[in-house]
Amino acid sequence: MIYLQLFFEFFKAGLFAIGGGLATLPFLSDIADKTGWFTHGDLADMIAISESTPGPIGVNMATYAGFNTGGIPGAVIATLGLICPSIIIIIAIAKILDKFRKSPLVNHTFYGLRPASVALISAAGIMVVKMALLDMDAFHASGNILDMIKYKEVILAVALFFLIKKFNKLHPAVFLAGSLAVGIILRLGGA
């Protein structure tokens, strides 16, 4: 029974969260209130964990809540519940797109959608830059604009930029692994 409930609650979150990223958050918080499967503290921890593990936060939270409630089957069922609406809706849309691929209306829509999508990704990218390369706390504390820059990180970013340009045949995972090592050696997290 608990499995059915897990599936249903995360199915709802997957159905109503639109826009990705933290859009699942209000629904997860609602699940926390209603079921007690996890606390709001767990949810905050999960945001931190999701930032430092691969995978979307919604999927991570579903897995975490499912695991705590019903072990590995619980984790699988909660995650399936979350992704089920996406699979159904996207396949329906993909079918329609297939049918109307040649339609000027679809092409005209995408002519406008593509730059919008790049703009939204760029804006999200700025957030990542802020988190990775800038130290807003130090800037607010001292008021000195030079304190805002994390120098070691910026040097690493510039080095990566040129390395990726030069060795663009390599898989991005190589550069991720390299940065992970540099982060630990130079204690970039300050820990």
Partner 1 sequence: MPKLLDLFLTFARIGGLTFGGGYAMLPMLQKEVIETKKWATEEEVMNYYAVGQCTPGIIAVNTATFIGYKTCGIPGGIFATLGVVFPSLVIISIIAAFITNFAELAVVKNAFAGIRVCVCVLILNAVVKLFKKSVIDIPTAVLFIVIFIGSILTDISPIIFVIAAGAAGIIIQTLTQKGKSEGGKQA
What spatial distance separates the first Cα and last Cα of the chain, rounded to whole Å?
Answer: 44
Give dist(CA 77, CA 63) in Å, integer: 8
Torsion 117-123-129-130 (CA) sign: negative
Q: Which is nearer to partner 1, 141 or 159 (CB)?
A: 159
CB of 53 to partner 1, least distance (A): 5
Q: Which of 56, 50, 46, 54 is nearest to 177 (CA)?
A: 54
Q: Which is nearer to partner 1, 16 or 141 (CB)?
A: 16
Question: CA 32 from chain center: how many Å?
Answer: 20
CB of 137 to partner 1, least distance (A): 14
Q: Which is nearer to partner 1, 124 or 141 (CB)?
A: 124
Q: Which is nearer to partner 1, 12 or 147 (CB)?
A: 12
HSE value, Cβ hemisphere, 13 Å, CA-based, for 84: 16
Give dist(CA 54, CA 166) in Å, integer: 26
Element (H, E) at 102: none
CB of 99 to partner 1, least distance (A): 13
CB of 45 to partner 1, least distance (A): 6
Cβ pair 76, 66 in contact under 8 A: yes
Q: Which is nearer to partner 1, 5 or 188 (CB)?
A: 188
CB of 148 to partner 1, least distance (A): 15
